[in-house]
Chains A and B, each alone.
Chain A
């Protein structure tokens, strides 16, 4: 079993396609929709947690990519705005994965996209709106 958290970006011409249905029925994937934004004639966005056997997952994602979906790992959608950050470190103790950490000697705040699971705990913890999430 493999699980991924991904953002599916749908080009306007695919909005009326039942892509999720096909991922579930044809590729036997478990699709948990975390967020969705669908607007006629615009790019749609679906944030999903998707799991299944590695083979099915690879095939399913290949199918979606071939259809024209732009698929990105979820963490890319959480942004650390260095200009707004004052490096107070308030975010670091609420981050469950260590994606936000502090380089202890100099007390610099570091953000590692790879470790971010987009739990959003950092967003209300930052008084300076330095952490932003876009879906």
Chain B
């Protein structure tokens, strides 16, 4: 009964596609069985809304008169330094960038009230931001100083380009030490007083297509409230980790690089976030449709929070010092119940990824497909999978002595 992408898109065009969210499909499969459900269902939509630090955006801000060579100069947008190492007026801002005069962690814990993530949110919300630039001046680009208000709509191009999003599973963070710690997994109170996790679990895109059978380079997706695309695997893509019998990775594994036109996005789905004592990031809404081409693809989308497990990691010692190992394995059903057991102790849990918003993303995407405005795509190339040999490496440091180069032995 295998279907093709073309057949599914024909049904979408006619407004006849059968679409469920990754949450709804669980009960559908339970009542109908995978075989029957696979024949009937065309698309399952997934969703996630969580902080994703390796996000950023590039802009072409247009040419001033007289012209200014921002390339190689220094530029800030609302005091956030942006990368200028391109041609004259192309800029890149990363989500974690912060103003030069932010006190950072000088007085711990730093607050990090405004950074690249907030800047992206403000631009998408249509707000005016302050562009201030110093340039060195050339014959063809004589101007050396530029200060202006600018909005997203004034720019030629404004494109979200995130090099690592949508992590397939993640650590559960705890603190075994006797002092409070401030991490990218939130504030962790001493002696196992709380645990934080960050995945939409049964709604999360890559947990519903664990072997990357339909999600690949070129896949059209919901990104930041608009339409975007998967560019490639994300950085740190690590498909070879241990998996459950269902193929679901037991820890952080695959990642995605994604892009999309910022001008059609919505600030509800790109939110600047301040992690006390850690820094700034941006919460990104991503939804990926999974075309149900066969029963095996369908079965994977019916994964439940009980079937997905994550590793509990100590962020006071083990994580900072790259000590491998886990304090235990817990399921997302346990994590979402409000407490887990670690070292025999009951530990309250809290999420960093919004399950509620993940559900909303999946249902928006479902509506787009049912209305016929969003069609599914066949990947141009697949993502490296389990047997690809692609592996996440730690850095091997080689000391530089007296400017000599030391080769790897």
A interface residues, Cβ below 8 angstroms from B: 86-94, 102, 104, 106-108, 124-125, 127-129
Task: Please determine whether B356 and A108 come into contact, CB atoms closer than 8 angstroms.
Answer: yes
Q: If A93-B195, A107-B336, A125-B276 touch, does A86 touch B350 (CB 8 Å cutoff)?
A: no
With a cutoff of 8 Å between Cβ atoms, the chain A residues found around residue B354 in the complex are 86-89, 107
With a cutoff of 8 Å between Cβ atoms, the chain B residues found around residue A125 in the complex are 186-187, 276
13 inter-chain pairs at a CB distance below 8 angstroms, sorted by A residue, are: A86-B283, A86-B354, A86-B357, A87-B355, A87-B357, A88-B50, A88-B351, A92-B348, A92-B350, A93-B196, A106-B356, A107-B355, A127-B352
Task: Please determine whether B271 and A86 come into contact, CB atoms closer than 8 angstroms.
Answer: yes
* Chain B, range 246-294, C-beta contacts under 8 Å to A: 271, 273-277, 281, 283
Task: Please determine whether A91 and B109 come into contact, CB atoms closer than 8 angstroms.
Answer: no
Q: Which 5 pairs of residues, A with B, have the shortest CB-CB distance?
A: A93-B350, A127-B273, A124-B276, A93-B194, A107-B355
Interface check B189, CB cutoff 8 A: yes
Task: Please determine whether B187 and A89 come into contact, CB atoms closer than 8 angstroms.
Answer: no
Q: If A86-B354, A86-B357, A125-B276 touch, does A93 touch B49 (CB 8 Å cutoff)?
A: no
Task: Please determine whether B338 and A94 come into contact, CB atoms closer than 8 angstroms.
Answer: no
Q: Residue B49 contacts which of A86, A92, A102, A106 (CB distance < 8 angstroms)?
A: A86
Task: Please determine whether B274 and A89 come into contact, CB atoms closer than 8 angstroms.
Answer: no
Task: Please determine whether B352 and A90 come into contact, CB atoms closer than 8 angstroms.
Answer: yes
Interface check B51, CB cutoff 8 A: yes
Interface check B326, CB cutoff 8 A: no
B interface residues, Cβ below 8 angstroms from A: 49-51, 109, 111, 186-187, 189, 194-196, 271, 273-277, 281, 283, 336-338, 348-357
Q: What is the chain A residue whose CB lies nearest that of B349?
A: A93
Residue among A90, A108, A128, A129 with the most chain B CB within 10 A? A90
Task: Please determine whether B187 and A88 come into contact, CB atoms closer than 8 angstroms.
Answer: no
CA distance A8 to B348 in the complex (A): 35
Task: Please determine whether A124 and B109 come into contact, CB atoms closer than 8 angstroms.
Answer: yes
CA distance A106 to B50 in the complex (A): 17
Residue among B196, B354, B356 with the most chain A CB within 10 A? B356
With a cutoff of 8 Å between Cβ atoms, the chain A residues found around residue B349 in the complex are 93
CA distance A32 to B355 in the complex (A): 42
Min distance, Cβ B241 to any Cβ of chain A, angstroms: 25
Q: What is the chain B residue whose CB lies nearest that of A106?
A: B356
Q: If A88-B50, A104-B337, A107-B356 touch, does A128 touch B273 (CB 8 Å cutoff)?
A: yes
Q: If A102-B338, A128-B273 touch, does A94 touch B352 (CB 8 Å cutoff)?
A: no
With a cutoff of 8 Å between Cβ atoms, the chain A residues found around residue B357 in the complex are 86-87
Q: What is the chain A residue whose CB lies nearest that of B339?
A: A93
Task: Please determine whether A89 and B350 come into contact, CB atoms closer than 8 angstroms.
Answer: yes
Q: If A87-B357, A88-B351, A107-B336 touch, does A127 touch B194 (CB 8 Å cutoff)?
A: no
With a cutoff of 8 Å between Cβ atoms, the chain A residues found around residue B196 in the complex are 90, 93
Task: Please determine whether A87 and B352 come into contact, CB atoms closer than 8 angstroms.
Answer: no
